[in-house]
């Protein structure tokens, strides 16, 4: 896979200078250019306008644009930094940086807190946590019974028993249950120019399936 020149990138909708994005993220310039190829593939999978729509994001994650998934919906909302219903290239790179193996765990924990705070209140309500835990477990290899999830939420998350989880409680909870942050890291991002798999959180799909 060859690198794409800046002149070619500028002709594409949603272009943002790879040098600027590289300075703001863990990615190198070459890796940003490789990510642009991935971005273009996703952004032309359904609506060929060079922007990633929710249906295309769903397709990239789960190979099914109609599958309703709370985790995917929340990830899309957090990637959509401008809140305009689409993901532009700069948003894609800056947000994807959270999932890089070299991104500090503290940043992953903070992102996950925003992911779980469904109503944007600055707290994670108990039911929000349970709903998101079940959604993530459903997309991972982990299988826990409802009783086990209830026990985790009741005994470890809401430490002051006020019915909601603040950020400090979340940090302590996430530290005790690192498996819940499993989907916050995509190992292939460490060698994006060496290996170029499809953008699937659960992995396993070939590029042709996108």
Task: Tell me the pLDDT tens digit for each residue of 13-41.
Answer: 667 899 999 999 999 999 999 899 889 88
Domains of the chain, start order: 15-102+185-209 (1.10.238.10), 105-184 (1.10.238.10)
Residue 206: per-residue pLDDT? 38
H/E stretch holding 125 reads strand 124-125
Bin 106: left if φ > 0, else alpha if -120 < ψ < 50, else beta: alpha
Instruction: Write out pLDDT tens, residues 123-146.
Output: 988 787 777 677 666 666 667 777
SS3 11: coil
Residue 141: per-residue pLDDT? 61
Please provide the size of the chain in residues: 210
Residue 83: per-residue pLDDT? 92
Structure tokens at 197: 């798999």
> Hey, how many other C-beta atoms are within 10 angstroms of the C-beta on 140?
15
Judge contact between 97 and 25, C-beta under 8 A: yes
Judge contact between 198 and 209, C-beta under 8 A: yes
Residue 86: per-residue pLDDT? 94
Question: Which residue is listed with tokens 């609506």?
Answer: 47
The residues pairing with 49 across neighbouring beta strands, listed in sequence order, are none
Mean pLDDT by 10 residues, the chain (210 residues): 49 79 93 90 89 88 60 86 94 92 91 86 83 68 74 69 84 81 78 53 39
Residue 160: per-residue pLDDT? 74
- Is the pTM higher than 0.85? The answer reads no
């Amino acid at each position: 896979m060859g690198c794409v020149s800046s002149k070619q990138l500028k002709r594409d909708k949603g272009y943002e200078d790879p040098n600027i994005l590289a300075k703001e993220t863990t990615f190198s310039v070459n890796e940003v250019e490789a990510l642009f190829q991935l971005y273009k593939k996703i952004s032309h999978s359904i609506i060929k306008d060079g922007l990633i729509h929710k249906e295309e994001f769903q397709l990239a994650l789960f190979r099914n644009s109609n599958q309703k998934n709370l985790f995917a919906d929340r990830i899309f909302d957090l990637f959509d930094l401008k809140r305009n219903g689409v993901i532009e290239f700069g948003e894609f790179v800056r947000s994807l940086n959270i999932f890089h193996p070299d991104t500090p765990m503290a940043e992953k924990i903070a992102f996950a807190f925003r992911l779980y705070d469904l109503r944007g209140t600055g707290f994670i309500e108990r039911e929000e946590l349970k709903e998101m835990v079940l959604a993530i477990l459903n997309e991972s290899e982990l299988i826990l019974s409802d009783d086990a999830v209830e026990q985790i939420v009741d005994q470890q998350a809401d430490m002051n028993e006020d019915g909601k989880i603040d950020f400090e409680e979340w940090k302590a909870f996430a530290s005790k249950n690192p498996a819940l942050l499993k989907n916050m890291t995509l190992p292939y991002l460490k060698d994006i120019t060496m290996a170029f798999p499809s953008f699937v959180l659960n992995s396993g799909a070939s590029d042709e399936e996108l």
